[in-house]
Structure 1
Amino acid sequence: MTTQARRIQSVYITLILGNTLAASFIWGINTLFLLDAGLSNLEAFAANAFYTVGVVLFEVPTGVIADTWGRRVSYLLGTVTLAVTTALYYLMWQISAPFWAWAVVSALLGLGFTFFSGAVEAWLVDALHHAGYEGSLEAVFGRGQMVSGVAMLGGSVAGGVIAQVTDLGVPFLLRVGVLLAMFVVAGLLMRDLGFTPDRSAGARQAVRGIWSASIEHGLKNPPVRWVMLAAPFVSGVSFYGFYAMQPYLLELYGDPDAYSIAGLAAAAVAGAQVVGGYLAPHARRLFRKRTTALIGGTVASAAILGLLGVTEGFWVAIVLLVLWALVFAAEMPIRQAYLNDMIPSKQRATVLSFDSLMGNAGGVVTQPALGRAADVYGYGTSLAIGGAIQLLAAPFLVMSRRQGSTADVAVTVSGAPAVTDPPAPPDEKLQR
């Protein structure tokens, strides 16, 4: 590996570390924070759904920033936007703001994250190509996920403990501080390599071009299309499952004020992320095709959610939560590598952002629906319903597999073409 490639990966790891640490301060107590502000379960998860509405609305416009002004600019705008909206969250909690205010600020919070989605990942892959890196993408994404898990572990536990000894608002202030620090770090270290921003087109023309590219290299590209269509069923349920675990574990534990237990839920997911990130490249070698791992992971996750829905034991729920997070963490780098190997460099950020849009679109419907199910039937039943919804993603992944993309069997960055090859013969598609 070249010195430049090592430096690029170090910068990527630093960005992931800072982003995740900032976010994770509130992950363990976010649902409790919203409920403490006076929202019902339906309103709390509807507020989360408005976050995903913001993601859906702003993915394409922020894609213009990433592809015309650069991925670095996009990242810097993301840190500032998230810092401001997080501070507004704290203010609304202080004044017990009405639901409409939570909806608006949650949507703007989604705007902040759209500056990150696609841009950081595209920056990494293009820069590695520029540096002549020929290793496995799963290994790079896996290391990033391991670091993310460590940051999440520390941040979520700290957030839960700090909330318990102070109040639920302090972790949000800590998040603002870390985000501002990451603005400085990215400004000093992040440079666009292997990608030249195109500022020749006007904003309207750029949006039109980005939308067309998303369609052309996303939905019109069969193996990519089917992966994207699976995303709404997985992402929406994943968001809900993570945040519903906080009050559900407190319910099983028997103490609604044990905020550190809510932090434990996020910490369990974080630990699983570390292990899953380490296992991702090894898990990839167990299967000839990436889609085999993705299909198996989807089915396993759905089954675990079903078991979480019927358990009555706190520690059994913790074990199932770890298994659920472990499966998700192991398959995510494989999914990232699969998609990146099928997307041309020039449209990489655009298509990855569109993929994020597809996933978050599912959350717009899924989160409030499952939140309402929790109000009516309880958290356990809502998680079981979520498992059934997630299972609907499997047929779409099977369809992607049947396209016979070269990226399905690629193992290195240089080993896969930028654009998907023609479908393989039927007999090859049936191979594992």
Structure 2
Amino acid sequence: MNSLETKHIYYTLHFLISLASAIMFTTYAIYYIEELGLNPFQLILIGTFLEVTIILFEGITGVVADTYSRRFSVITATFILGGAFILEGSIPYFSDAFAFGALAIFASLLVAEIIRGLGETFLSGADQAWLADEAGEGTIAAIFVRANQLRLVASLIGIVVSVVLASFALNLPYIVGGGIYVILGIFLCFFMKEHKFERAPAAVEMPFRAMKSTFVSGIGFIKKKPILWMLLLVTVLMGAASEGVDRLWEAHLLEAYAFPELGNLSPVVWFGIIHFVGTLISIGAMEWYQRKFDVNKPRVIRNSLFYFTLGQIAFTIIFGLASSFYWAIFSFWVLGIIGSITAPIYQTWLNQQLESGSRATVLSIMGQGNAVGQGFGGPFVGVVATRFYIRSAIVLSGLLIIPAAVLYGKVRKGK
């Protein structure tokens, strides 16, 4: 299997994941709020249960990927995620059949999100580790950037599909998105190969000892590299900050602003437009940035992460405090641009610090750090949103990013 085939499999994997995600998450907040009846605190609590699941299983599944097979881990993830999302979309059917009350509906959603969390841990780190081994570390920066562009294109398609499906029924996007994950899993079973991965010698004879050895190796590798400790701390901080915007931005727009009167568009269509235009802008910005700067250079990476993190702080606060609908949307789009540019840069920098034998384990530990941040920061942000205003919670999220900018600043100066 050559690198060309490897990157095409990786592109397909993330194109379909992004397509499914856009179909489901463009209108998910309206599904949660209007169909399932969740309040702001419950919205955050759903995210907390997801992240706690990731905290509990991330390290274990990362070790599985490094000890047995990255391919197995990725394929397992797609089927688990597909099942979780189909279950989440089926809750209204169960509610009608069994006369669920509000508590039963919320409990069903929690179960689906816990299953989803398990699936996310099998995927986290394993896909990047597989790519780095099969394609080679020297090519992954360009592949990460191109994959992110394809994700944005897939998101454009998914946004339109989501709005159309949600116009018929708010739960349909989840059922279709889950189905795409299942189809992806079947595709990977036939076409995803793994030639350069070396299974741990004791993986079959002494599986638990092999997994323990892999995990200890991953922890030891992090201890030896101060830059990884810094990235882990940044990941925790970013995880804590992300919950406010990721979980509450739709509720913030619905609560704080009157949507412009334009042909009596429903909130479903408005959120589709916001996503679609924002994604188009991000695609253009990312293409410009890739042509303008060499994202393989360490100096470009450090400067980009520092300055964009400062921008993220500023525009998160602006989004929370914006006095008009248009300023809020503008700042939200800028945050989307920042995320689309920094994500592949961060992935490249992190993978450049790792070695093959413990790559998936270390990446999973990083994912675990993000989950810890979201798991502990999320409920606090949710309480602020419920007891005070959603605006306050979003501004708080921006302030939580400040320590990450300080850390990036120290690395940028070579300290």
Please indicate, yes or no, whether the TM-score normalized by the shorter chain is above 0.5. Answer: yes
In 1, are the aligned partners of 2:86 and 2:179 still within 8 Å (CA)?
A: no
Q: 1:271 to 1:209 in 2, by over 3 A?
A: farther
Q: Residue 73 and residue 294 in structure 1: after superposition, are their counterparts in 2 closer, same or farther (change >3 A)?
A: same
Flag the 1:249–1:219 CA change in 2: closer, same or farther, 3 A. Answer: farther
Equivalent in the alignment of 1:194: 196
The residue correspondences of 1:344-355 to structure 2 (distance < 5 A) are 344-355=355-366
CA contact (8 A) 1:284 1:293 kept: no
Counterpart Cα distance in 2 of 1:79 and 1:364: 23
- 1:387 is displaced (CA, Å) by 0.5
**CA distance 1:318–1:233, change in 2 (3 Å):** same
Amino acid at match of 2:75: L
Q: Is the CA contact (8 Å cut-off) linking 1:74 and 1:115 kept in structure 2?
A: yes
Higher relative contact order (CA 8 A, sep 6+): 2
Number of the residue aligned with 2:142: 139
Match of 1:425 in 2: none
- Separation (CA, whole Å) in 2 of partners of 1:210 and 1:400: 29
TM-score by length of 1: 0.85
Q: 1:329 to 1:175 in 2, by over 3 A?
A: same
Q: Which one of 361, 367, 376 corresponds to residue 378 of structure 2?
A: 367
**What is residue 178 of structure 2 aligned with on the other side?**
176
CA distance, structure 1, for counterparts of residue 338 and residue 56 of structure 2: 30
Distance 1:199 1:45 in 2: 43
Cα distance in 1 for partners of 2:301, 2:271 equals 34
Q: 3-state DSSP class of the match of 1:271?
A: helix
1:241 correspondence with 2:245 = yes
1:48 aligns with 2:47: yes
User: For 1:312, which of 301, 304, 323 is the aligned residue?
Assistant: 323
The residue number in structure 2 matching 1:8 is: 6
- The number of residue pairs the alignment matches comes to 397
Equivalent positions of 1:276-425 (< 5 A) are 276-282=285-291, 284-285=293-294, 288-401=299-412
Check 1:203–1:47 CA distance in 2 against 1; reply closer, same or farther (3 A cut): farther
Distance 1:17 1:80, change over 3 A: same
SS of 2:90's partner is: helix
- How far apart are residue 69 of structure 1 and its match? 2.5
Secondary structure in 1 matching 2:337: helix
Shift of 1:43: 1.0
Sort the Cα spacing of 1:266 and 1:239 in 2 relative to 1 into closer, same or farther, 3 A: farther
Query: Hey, what does 1:30 align to over in structure 2?
Result: 28
Deviation at 1:316, TM superposition (A): 2.0
**2:227 is the alignment partner of 1:227:** no
Decide whether aligned partners of structure 1 residues 250 and 196 sit closer, same or farther in structure 2, where only a CA change above 3 A counts.
Answer: same
Residue type at the aligned position of 2:120: F
Identity among equivalent pairs (%): 23
| 1:261 alignment counterpart | 270
Do 1:283 and 1:330's aligned partners in 2 also have CA atoms closer than 8 Å? no
Letter in 1 for 2:232: M
CA shift at 1:236, angstroms? Answer: 3.5
Over 3 Å counting, the alpha-carbon distance change for 1:279 and 1:363 in structure 2 is farther
Measure the CA separation in 1 of the matches of 2:280 and 2:150. 10
CA distance in 2, matches of 1:236, 1:160: 30
Whole-Å Cα distance in 2 between the matches of residues 51 and 256 of structure 1? 32
Structure 2 distance, partners of 1:235, 1:267, is 25
| Cα 1:60–1:268 shift into 2, 3 Å | farther
Give the residue type in structure 2 aligned to 1:267.
F
CA shift at 1:277, angstroms? 4.0
Measured after TM superposition, the shift of residue 172 of structure 1 is 0.8
- State the TM-score, normalized to the length of structure 2: 0.88
| Structure 1 residue identity aligned to 2:6 | I
Aligned to 1:149: 152
C-alpha separation in 1, matches of 2:180 and 2:128: 21
AA aligned to 2:195 is L
Give the 3-state SS of the residue equivalent to 1:115 in structure 2: helix
Which 10-residue stretch deviates more, 53-62 or 280-289? 280-289
Corresponding residue of 2:131: 124
